[in-house]
Chains A and B, each alone.
Chain A
Amino acid sequence: ILNVEQSPQSLHVQEGDSTNFTCSFPSSNFYALHWYRWETAKSPEALFVMTLNGDEKKKGRISATLNTKEGYSYLYIKGSQPEDSATYLCAFNYGQNFVFGPGTRLSVLP
């Protein structure tokens, strides 16, 4: 059974703080690693798809890195804003499908 872990489970930060969280996944049979941002009552929104060891992706204040050899990815948010409050899901893509982590719930306090 493939297991994808995310830490921390939840996080509260002040507006303006930078933060990061981790996704751990199996280092074998790697195809891609996805990050999704999921706001309450909305659909999960794709942030990044990462396929190569050493990949770094950036979208505005959010960036992600990938290490496929050791099986982890970091998501960074610089200067957190209240609108960043959401659950951040990572998904390990092997073959035809995904295994999702449990998510990290981020709350940014004004």
Chain B
Amino acid sequence: DAGVTQSPTHLIKTRGQQVTLRCSPKSGHDTVSWYQQALGQGPQFIFQYYEEEERQRGNFPDRFSGHQFPNYSSELNVNALLLGDSALYLCASRWEDSYGYTFGSGTRLTVV
């Protein structure tokens, strides 16, 4: 059983461009959360999706948007990239009624 799968693993973009990151949750999981981890910091919550709707959102600007599909997979979109958006982006999934999340290995985004 595959865990959480994220693609791509690494990405280099130019400032001002747009990027889409993808996440396939663990089989049986219906809730997906996205986190940004900048160097030297813990993961920061971006938003959570459940039943194809954004249920909760962290302190991130509207340039960060997302989507959840009927098969529970999810995308994170970032528009008008800034140098400060360079980070590791983690996707985590869980079954709604469980406690813990299963994490993907992340997408390393570098904005130049």
Q: A interface vs B, CB < 8 Å?
A: 4, 6, 32, 34, 36, 41-46, 49, 51, 89, 93, 96-103
* B62 smallest CB distance to A (angstroms): 19
B binding-site residues for A, Cβ under 8 Å: 3-4, 33, 35, 40-45, 48, 55-56, 90, 99-106
Contacts of B56 in A (CB 8 A): 96-97
Q: How far is the CA of A36 from the CA of B41 in the complex (A)?
A: 15
30 contacts between A and B (CB under 8 A): A4-B42, A32-B99, A34-B99, A34-B100, A34-B101, A41-B105, A42-B105, A43-B3, A43-B102, A43-B105, A44-B90, A46-B100, A46-B101, A46-B102, A49-B100, A51-B99, A89-B43, A96-B55, A96-B56, A97-B33, A97-B45, A97-B56, A98-B45, A98-B101, A100-B42, A100-B44, A100-B45, A102-B40, A102-B41, A103-B42
Please give me the residue from chain B that is nearest to A34 by CB atom: B100
Instruction: Give Cα A98 to B4, complex, Å.
Output: 18
Nearest A residue to B40 via CB reads A102
Interface contacts beyond A43-B4, A89-B43, A96-B55: sample of 11 additional A-B pairs, CB < 8 Å, sorted by A: A34-B101, A43-B105, A43-B106, A44-B103, A46-B101, A51-B99, A89-B42, A96-B48, A97-B45, A98-B101, A102-B42
Contact of B48 among A36, A41, A97 (CB under 8 A): A97
Nearest 3 Cβ contacts at the A-B interface: A100-B42, A102-B42, A44-B103
